[in-house]
Amino acid sequence: HPWRPRELSPCRTQLTELLPLQPVIVMLPFLLPRPLLLILLVAVCQHCGYSYSRRPCTDSDWKFAFSECKKDPKLGRKVKSVFAFAPSDVCSAKVKDSAIPPRPLLAAPCEIPCGSGKHLVAFASSSSSSSSPSSSLPASSSSSSSSSSSSSSSSSSPILDAPSGGAGSSSGGASDKAIPQIQLACKDCEVGRFSLGGGILYDGNVGDWPKTIPGRMSTFCFYRGADYTWKPGSSQEARCMLHLGNTSVETRAGTWNKFLTDDVLSLSLVALEDPNELACSDLTSLGNLLRGKAVLVIRGACTFQIKTEHIAATGAKAVVLYNNVADGGYFFPAPTDEDHLPQLPIFMVTKEDGEVLLEHLKNETGSSAQLRIPTTHCSSALIHQDTFSSAALTANLSSNISRLPQNWEETEGTRGCSPWSTDDAQGFLHSGDNRHYHWVYSLLTMNLRFVRDGHVRFRYSVDAETYDGLKFLVDQAERIPQAPQAERYTDFNISLEKGSHSLTWVYSKDYSNTAGEDRARLQFLEVVGTDFSDEDCRSCAGALERGIYGAEACPTCSRDHYVSGNGTCRPCPPGRGSAAGAVGVEACLQLRPCHVFDQKVEYKAPTGKGYCVKNMTNKTVSWRLPKVCDESSPGLVSLPQESPQLVPCPPCQPNFVRLDGAVCVPVLRTCPHGFYPKRYLILNRWEVWEPGLTRQVVRIDGSQGSPNQRASWHLSPDASSVMVGSAFLGLDESEDGTGIALLHVDVDLLDEGFATVFFQASPLESWGKAGQILLDGRNPSNMAISGPLSGALRTAEIWMPVGAHRITFSWRSTDRHGDEVADSLEEKASLSGMRILNLTIENAANGSSSNCTYCPPGHEVSANGKACLRCQAGRSSPGGGASCDACPSGFAAALEGSAECSRCGAGLRSSQGSARCKPVDHFSQRSFVGAREGPIFDLQAISKAWLGGATDEDEREPRLRMLRVEDRLLYINPFAAAVGPTSNLAGSPMRAYVWERMPAAPPQGPDAGALDTGVCEATNSLASYRGVGDVLRSLEVVHEGDLLGVRANYTGQCEGAPRTTSLLLRCDIQDASSALSNQWSSLLDRFLPQSEVLHGSYLPGHHPLSSRSCEDLHIEWQDRAACPLCEEGEFLPVAVGDCSTLGQRFAYFPKRPCANGARSPADEYRPCGSFWTQTPVILSILAAIVVVSCALGYVLVLRRRYAQYMRLDESEEKTDQGDQVVVADQIGASSSV
């Protein structure tokens, strides 16, 4: 029977035990005669067929299976079938006297609502008039079924019967009246179980995420390649999609589509829902309905090619075929006659997606019923374009795509992406391992049809850098904006109305940077409303505390108790224990024997406060709570008979002494002059919690746990370490170990120094995933890890600047077992944990000293000789015992701890003890002998123009101005160092002339979201900026052709590397106010609105590679104030306009661009007839006369010289003398003979 599941026969199970004898069994056919071999085979077959099925089946042995809902053509609604079967290892219906199998129920309505706490059950009854003893169908369902059964009951009948006779009848000669009927009813869940009332539930706390992506979901990812085009992930095929309004479904193209034109189609979609219209016969009568449209039709009854040809004859443009088998997947429609291929593209979708499209068509009209097919070939290029260009998706993702520049940082690894997947332990669904990729979109989609109003609730977490994160969209509308940090699991709930809905989770990464785990997780997903009832109930274990819908009625019991069959709480049997909310005695697990790590040791002073008085203390040994071991097991540890015991106080930390017999104080050596005692805080004795150490536990739901619970950090019984996790504390599955355990060490450093940690993480792979070390809430970028050493020990070295710091040791145990989050089952198979054996902090204020040493350069010994202090800004020291001396005039030391003072550059000056060099008021280029060369620039005027009319002297603190240079935002004060853009606190140690805006470095690590630093960090925090111009080195005049101005040169650091920044303050005489007189310009400056954002540009040939790179910056800003001062004697008179009655007006203009300084001489009028005005005319006339005279004189000379050639006689005589021609009358001769 197709409804009977295939099960492993017990006989086959037994035969597998004979596998060690396989070589002998294989040789039997060659060793035994054929008759004997035949007899042996018959005996084995009889044994397998009857030995485990000899018992006849009874009515209580029947099991029932439900089919998928499908539309009944005759009834016009969806129905499902119910079949009965008997497990083969239980009984055999072929044995004599076996009960008659119930007749299948073939037309049960799908719309049978069973609310939460109930489930739909099937049972066999010998009569249609009998009823379920414990439950009933709702009246609406019973009445709706009356038309589908010839023997249906009335609306008040609690039972739905199968029709008499028909395909479901049983053989065997029994009469129809003797055949049992299958009946349906809504039955209450058993005690300790619950139901959703029709929905979907994946709960990672009990490990029920499927190992592969669930069938109702689909996932894919895209990344931007080197050619800036979007590509699918290398580990997957591109997904071809069809879009209907806000609904998108995956499809497969027909094999003949590749012979058609690859087009993007946008067509109206119509469906053939009539069972008689399967496109297996002529459809020309529907031509008006189908012409020019895409047709949705179900598979079956004829070939794909016949369907397509009949639809093509109506003038339709495309065929969308959906499967007629539930969970049947996809086919690639292929032709039966390859010589005559259809000329219409065909696409196939699953049965479930086809029903989603049908539901959409029923509820939507107009533009929302338009089907968009991005590519008829399902070609990769168009698929990529479609995924990120479709209106629905682009509307929500384009804001991220559009801000990506056309260049990006090269990082380790290849370009690519990973889609969503399930972790090996089935505890959560995550967005893939994309830590080494950039420009990534990893999408998880779920298309659902809600048969009634319902909701979607899920629990998620995100660990990513600021510009990466998770979005959640419903019907392509954003419901959760991009979240980069949701380290604690966060619940989200949204109500949805009846109908089809599309759910999309999008994890996106921008073009650079990776932080934390770099992925999103879905630990829990609850969907209610996708069905009318559940067929099974789920265990109540932990469901109520997780707030699962329908679990309100679940009984709850405390730890080491369980819910019994009658709903009462009973204690677990001796030697067994359970977590809170356990259901059934089987939930009580065998407790392991107690070990040393199950005990804790506490010290308390006999009298008063503290733990030590007169070098004595009370030592108490007790079991750690909650107790998860059995102390009655023989041969293991037990509590001491006498507790507490009066014992000597535990020893102090190295180089600490107990002077008064109570408190340990550091030992400080007395050093000679010029030396100081170098301090170290060494923690390697872990009997008590030292001052400055605090513990914190953050549960998976974000609430605070008790620092004393087992999942927290604890002192080891042998005082060798401080530890956390199952590897050292013996946690098991029955314990409440989920959450994040934090150990904070607060320390104040007198000077920069290192913190060195010897620790062990077990297993090794858990380091960086479950265990981390943080500095001030972030992953320290300068932490060096070495090891593992012997015994899997590792060493971590962290550099810290002067000041107060918090070192945090974090251990996360957030999966359902209470162990660390790991990426493989092998890691989870072993116990896990972390322990710290030694912590040494250099230059700690509360540390001790064992030796004397010189202060390093940039430091001096304090007045009391007990510390080495950094030189203040404006002072320096070469070290070696020397004191910090003030910088002389013309020198400065901008940073604390300077070993020497730096000479002020050109255009800068300083007084004694100055921290920074300041610009002179008026600056010009000087020759090597000090003489002025070239123009003079007013630096005060430039500063005033930069700050919008104010000066630094007008304000208590120097102010920055935003300068936008293409894709960068800089905050600059050209001549005064200022604090970061988001702080106005005077005296801040962070000062620079040039600040660059950067993405804020988010808290990193698994417990970063749980840290309570007491500071609410704003979005534009100081960490979002980097000072790239810390020191003003020099000024220089730039005068090259038309380029005129002053260049300021700065030095600083960028990502730990030296960096030079130059700002060219360029003269722009064409400024809008240049035509105004100086007094009018200064007056208008008070009233004209000043833009908060200045605009600059890169100098030619100095464009950086990317917006985040650390090349030297060379930029310019143009303004009239950057022009040199005007000087007397540099103005020339120029006649302006025509002469008037007042005379000719003359205005004075500078020889070169200038502003301010000396005023130009006043305009003056000169007589139009004066020598100065007529001279040019006179000179022009005289020149013309001279030229004409010379020309006339030259002509006369030529006429006189050639006068004899200028007469011509008309008469002439020619005489022939032989060959000689004689001219009688020659030119110029007398005409007489």
Could you report the per-residue pLDDT of 988-1000, keeping only the tens digit for each? 457 889 988 765 4
pLDDT of residue 886: 94
Q: Is a pLDDT exceeding 60 seen at residue 479?
A: yes
| Average pLDDT rounded to a whole number, residues 927-937 | 71
Instruction: Write down the residue that tokens 């060798």 correspond to.
Output: 720
CA dihedral 804, 806, 807, 812 (to 10 degrees): -170
Q: Of 724, 837, 755, 851, give the one whose Cα is nearest residue 789.
A: 837
Residue 127's pLDDT band (boundaries 50, 70, 90)?
Answer: low
CA triple 526-530-534, angle to 5 deg: 80
Residue 798's pLDDT band (boundaries 50, 70, 90)?
Answer: very high
Residue 962's pLDDT band (boundaries 50, 70, 90)?
Answer: confident
CA distance 560 to 574: 10
pLDDT of residue 130: 43
Higher pLDDT, 1153 or 364: 1153
pLDDT of residue 473: 92
Beta bridge partners of 249: 242
pLDDT of residue 652: 93
Q: Of 878, 904, 907, give the one whose Cα is nearest residue 891.
A: 904
Burial 920-934 (b: 16+ CB within 10 A, else e): beebbbeeeeeeeee
Higher pLDDT, 1085 or 781: 781
CA distance 974 to 1062: 10
Cβ–Cβ under 8 Å, residues 475 and 502: yes
pLDDT of residue 584: 82
Q: Is a pLDDT exceeding 70 seen at residue 1220?
A: no
Cβ–Cβ under 8 Å, residues 84 and 101: yes
Query: What does each C-alpha distance from 400 to 51, 221, 714, 1117 come to in angstroms?
Result: 68, 15, 45, 30
pLDDT of residue 641: 67
At position 282, the amino acid (one-letter code) is D
φ, ψ of residue 514 to 5 degrees: the values are -140, 135
Residue 747 in tokens: 């320390």
Residue 806's pLDDT band (boundaries 50, 70, 90)?
Answer: very high
Q: Is a pLDDT exceeding 70 seen at residue 775?
A: yes
676 contacts: CB under 8 Å, gap ≥ 6: 852, 853, 855, 861, 862, 865, 866, 867, 868
pLDDT tens string 483-524: 766 666 788 999 999 888 889 999 988 777 777 778 898 988
Residue 1223's pLDDT band (boundaries 50, 70, 90)?
Answer: very low
Q: Is a pLDDT exceeding 70 seen at residue 76?
A: yes
Identify which of 70-74, 422-426, 526-530 has the greatest average pLDDT: 526-530
E strands of 716-768, at which residues? 722-724, 739-749, 753-762
| Average pLDDT rounded to a whole number, residues 974-981 | 85
Residue 736 in tokens: 């409440």
Q: Is a pLDDT exceeding 80 seen at residue 132?
A: no
CA distance 658 to 664: 4
Q: Is a pLDDT exceeding 90 seen at residue 711?
A: no
Q: In terms of pTM, does the model score above 0.75?
A: no
Instruction: Write down the residue that tokens 């009445």 correspond to.
Output: 143
Could you tell me how far CA 472 lies from the centroid of its own chain? 13
Residue 854 in tokens: 């010189």
1183: left (phi over 0), alpha (psi -120 to 50) or beta: alpha
Identify the H or E element spanning 935: strand 932-938
- DSSP code of residue 904: P
The secondary structure of 826-871 as a DSSP string is HHHHS--EEEEEEEEEETBTT-EEEEEEEPPTTEEE-TTSS-EEEP
Residue 817 in tokens: 């077992």
Chain mean pLDDT for the chain: 75
Crossing angle for the helix pair 391-402 and 380-389, to the nearest 10 degrees? 80
813 contacts: CB under 8 Å, gap ≥ 6: 711, 725, 726, 731, 737, 738, 739, 740, 741, 770, 819, 820, 821, 832
- DSSP code of residue 20: G
Q: Is a pLDDT exceeding 90 seen at residue 191?
A: no
| Average pLDDT rounded to a whole number, residues 892-897 | 89
Residue 588's pLDDT band (boundaries 50, 70, 90)?
Answer: confident
289: left (phi over 0), alpha (psi -120 to 50) or beta: alpha
pLDDT tens string 621-662: 888 777 778 877 765 677 776 678 889 999 999 999 988 888
pLDDT of residue 1173: 52
Maximum pairwise Cα distance, the chain: 179
Burial 947-986 (b: 16+ CB within 10 A, else e): beeebbeeeeebbbbbbebeebbbbbbbbbbbbbbeeeee
CA distance 88 to 1229: 157
Residue 918 in tokens: 């300041």
pLDDT of residue 733: 40
CA distance 1057 to 498: 59
CA distance 712 to 228: 48
pLDDT of residue 528: 93
Residue 757's pLDDT band (boundaries 50, 70, 90)?
Answer: very high
pLDDT of residue 1087: 35
Higher pLDDT, 1117 or 580: 1117
At position 767, the amino acid (one-letter code) is W
CA distance 181 to 188: 21
| Average pLDDT rounded to a whole number, residues 380-396 | 44
Q: Is a pLDDT exceeding 90 seen at residue 1046?
A: yes
The secondary structure of 1009-1054 as a DSSP string is GG---S----TT-GGGEEEEE-EEEEEEEEEETTEEEEEEEEEEEE
Residue 715 in tokens: 């002192």
pLDDT of residue 47: 54
pLDDT of residue 656: 93
Residue 526's pLDDT band (boundaries 50, 70, 90)?
Answer: very high
